[in-house]
Structure 1
Amino acid sequence: MIDFSKIKSVLDLACGQGVFERQLDSKTIYLGVDISKSFIEEAKSKQKSLNHQFAVGHVSKSLPIKKNDFDLAIIILALQNIENINGVIENASKYLKTGGKFLMVLNHPMFRIPRQTSWGMDEKNKAQYRRIDRYMSELNIPISTNPGQMEKSEMTWSFHHPLSKYSESLWQNGFLIERIEEWVSDKKSTGGKARMENRSREEIPMFMTIVAIKK
C-alpha cells in the first residue's frame, strides 16, 4: 500500500513503544508521538537511529511538532482507543505535506466492535457466521483490562464509529481516500469444525487499512 523507498519522513501517531520505528530505514526522518510517558521512555531505550525521535503528546490535541511536511503519517491499531478521531485526523493533515499520505490501521469497524459483534454457529447449515448487533450508532464502550478481577479491574475505552464517519472526517480535513484493504485473520483451526471455522475467517475480515492522500 505504501512504497517506503519513496518515503523520507514519517509521523507515527500513538506510536506506543516504537515498534514501527524499528522497522524503518535508519536514514528516514521519524517522529513518534504517544500520550504515555512510559511508552515513550521504552521507545527511546530501543531507538534505532538518531534520525528517529520520540515525544510525549496527545495525538488529538496540539502537538509539540515544528515540521509540517512529513511524507507519511500513520496510526496503527490505536485510533479506536481515542475519543476525538477528528482531532487525530486534523493533526495528520496539519503535519503532512500536500500529496502526503495518511495510513490508518483499524480493527474492522463493522465486524469487530467490542460487545456488539460475535461468532455464532449455524449447526443446521454447518456454518460459522459473524453476528452484528449494532453498527451505525457511535458507541463509547468500556473494556475491562483484567476481566477476572471484575469490578476491581481497571477500565479502558473503545470508541466505535461506522466507516462513513472516518470517510467524513478525512474529507473534512482535506484528504481523499486512495485505497482500502480488509485483512482476515491468519489463525487456523484444527479438529472437527476446522473447515467451517477456517472458511468463515477467510470470508470475514478482522482488520481494515485506509490510505488517504492530503489534497
Structure 2
Amino acid sequence: MINSLEKNKTSWDKEAHRFFARNPLPEYGPLAPFEDDLHLFGDVTNKKILEIGCGSGHSLKYLDEQQAKEIWGIDLSTAQINTAAEVLKDTRSDVKLLESPMEEDPGLPHQYFDIVFSIYALGWTTNLEKTLDNINKYLKSGGTFIFSWEHPLYNRIKNNDGDLRLIKSYHEEGSYDHEAWSSPAMMQQFKLSTYINSLISHGFMIEKMIEDVCISDDIIPKHVNGWYSYEKAKMIPTTLIIKSRKI
C-alpha cells in the first residue's frame, strides 16, 4: 500500500494540471447526470462538508456558493492541495484543506460532518475497507456519504466501431497499472457488489444508486475521441453514483 501511495502521489503531483476543474459538482463525472437534476445533497445551508480527494477544489467552491457552513478537503497530492487553496481563497465558508491519503486519518474530527462526498476519487484508494471505515468515523450519526466513480463495467468493455467487446473479466478485482498517463500510477478495480457490500459492512444504508447517462449537445464536444466517448456511453454507463447514510 505504501509503495502504491508514493507512486500515486508522484503521478498526481505531475499530472494535476490536466484535471483542473475537470467534472466538478454540479457534475458527477463524464457524461453523467448533474446535481441540478439528482438533488442528492439537498439543502446544504450551514452544513459541515468534507470531500475525499478534493482535487482542484472546484466541487468545494460549488458547495460554498450553496451556503455550506464549513468545507473541508483532503487530497494525496501536494499540487492539488496548493491549487485548491488558491481556488478557495475567497470563499465565504470556513475552509480547511489537508494533504493526506484517504486511507489514513490525518486528524479529522470524528462524528462531525453532515456530509462526506467524493467525485471520481474513491476508486484510487489502495484500501477500500480502511477508507470507508474512516468516512464512517468522520460522519455524524445519520450523516450522508455520496460518491461517484467510473462504472465498474466501463473499462472492462471496449468499443470497436460500435461493437462492444469484453476485454477483462468482471470478476477480476484489485490493483492494476494505470496506463493513460505518462507517469506510472496504480488504480483499483472492484465489482459493483463490492462497493455495495463494503458500504453495508461499514455501517451505511444505501439510499440511491444511479447509473444513468446524460448526453446533451453542450457536453458531447468535451468527450470527442476521449476515454469517455459519446458512442460508448450510449450503450453502457460511464459513471456509478451512490448515496448512502450512516446508520
1:13 is aligned, of 47, 52, 58, to 52
1:75 is aligned, of 90, 100, 118, to 118
Structure 1 CA distance for aligned equivalents of residues 122 and 202 of structure 2: 16
Quote the residue 2:92 is aligned against: 49
Pairwise CA distance, 1:210: 0.4
Moved over 4 A (4+): 197-200
Report the TM-score when normalising by structure 1. 0.80
Quote the residue 2:192 is aligned against: 163
State the structure with more CA Rg: 1
Identity, % of aligned positions: 25
Quote the residue 2:157 is aligned against: 117
Quote the residue 1:201 is aligned against: 233
The 8 Å contact of residues 157 and 164 in structure 2, kept in 1 or not, is answered as: no
2:58 aligned counterpart, secondary structure: coil
Equivalent positions of 1:123-138 (< 5 A) are: 128-129=163-164, 131=166, 133-138=168-173
Larger relative contact order (Cα-Cα within 8 Å, sequence gap ≥ 6): 2
User: Residue 198 and residue 14 in structure 1: after superposition, are their counterparts in 2 closer, same or farther (change >3 A)?
Assistant: closer
Quote the residue 2:81 is aligned against: 40
Quote the residue 1:193 is aligned against: none
Pairwise CA distance, 1:90: 1.0
Quote the residue 2:6 is aligned against: none
Quote the residue 2:106 is aligned against: 63
Q: In the alignment, does 2:179 pair up with 1:144?
A: yes
Report the TM-score when normalising by structure 2. 0.71
1:91 is aligned, of 121, 129, 134, to 134
The 8 Å contact of residues 35 and 56 in structure 1, kept in 2 or not, is answered as: yes
The amino acid across from 2:176 in the alignment is: I
Cα deviation code 1:97-142 (max 9, x no counterpart): 11111001010012x22xx321134xxxxx5435353111213221
Pairwise CA distance, 1:49: 3.2
Structure 2 CA distance for aligned equivalents of residues 12 and 120 of structure 1: 36
1:183 aligned counterpart, secondary structure: coil
Structure 2 CA distance for aligned equivalents of residues 136 and 207 of structure 1: 18
Cα deviation code 1:172-213 (max 9, x no counterpart): 110011100013263659xxxxxxx96763342110100111
Gapped regions of structure 2 (runs ≥ 5): 1-39, 222-228
User: Residue 37 and residue 200 in structure 1: after superposition, are their counterparts in 2 closer, same or farther (change >3 A)?
Assistant: closer
Higher deviation after alignment, 175-184 or 47-56: 47-56
1:102 aligned counterpart, secondary structure: strand
The amino acid across from 2:160 in the alignment is: G
Structure 2 CA distance for aligned equivalents of residues 212 and 68 of structure 1: 16
Pairwise CA distance, 1:6: 5.6
2:107 aligned counterpart, secondary structure: coil
Structure 2 CA distance for aligned equivalents of residues 188 and 5 of structure 1: 30
User: Residue 214 and residue 7 in structure 1: after superposition, are their counterparts in 2 closer, same or farther (change >3 A)?
Assistant: farther
The amino acid across from 2:72 in the alignment is: L
The amino acid across from 2:85 in the alignment is: K
